[in-house]
Amino acid sequence: MSETVIREVAKNVWTFSRPFARFGIFPIGGRSTAIKLQDGNVWILASTPLDSQTKSTLDTLGPVRFIVGADAVHHLYLSEFKRAYPDAKLIAPKDATERVQDKSLKFDGVWGVDSRDTNYFSGFKNKDVAFFHPASKTMIQADLLFNLPPTEQYSKSKSSGKVPGFSTFGPSSWLHSKVTSALAVDNAWDFDRIIPCHGDVIEKDGNKAWREVYKSFL
């Protein structure tokens, strides 16, 4: 039985959530996010295994044309997705292109080399990129904001997804603000929902949550 939870969180925005433990110890969950674009093609932030349920859903949505690695450490499954969708454009931050194990992998675009967009957080340790889907007012990102515990991501797992003695690591927690080291934010984005790679989706008041985490920089 697959542990991947697949759902349409907003029109044309799909998430693929499953268990993942950092260093095999800390349960933080993993999530890929797909968007069906206006032209019918599919864009995906690829951060979880391409299991049969995930691939079946993507193939139903439409042809995958863009495969994205969101930061330096979210590169484990890029080769898997590229093999399945060889015609898709593959884009990731420079650090991810250097860390990926498959050195034959060809990238069509590299943040930190080809672009200086404001959604590329070069001052953040993991070199994250954030994305905005205006139609659903959704921000999609990897490690810039966590919302733990990862309840949805562990909902099909025998594990609870919680660390004993540790309750939450979300936008309102003092610890999240303390460890956050990003240096910039695009205030022009009118987002209400945040889809993180780690932890539950923030369905509303995402802009407020974002500002809470980054209040010391704003």
Domain boundaries, the chain: 5-217
Specify the pLDDT at position 211.
87
DSSP strand E in the chain: where? 5-10, 13-18, 21-22, 26-27, 30-36, 42-45, 64-68, 89-93, 109-111, 131-133, 138-141, 193-196
Specify the pLDDT at position 170.
60
Tell me the whole-structure pTM to 2 decimals: 0.87
Stretch 106-117: mean pLDDT: 85
| pLDDT, tens digit (0-9, with 9 covering 90-100), for 146-161 | 998 899 999 999 876 6
> For residue 173, is pLDDT > 60?
no
R_g of the chain computed on alpha carbons: 16
How many Å separate Cα 137 from the centre of its chain?
Answer: 16
Specify the pLDDT at position 180.
56
Specify the CATH architecture of the domain 5-217: 4-Layer Sandwich (3.60)
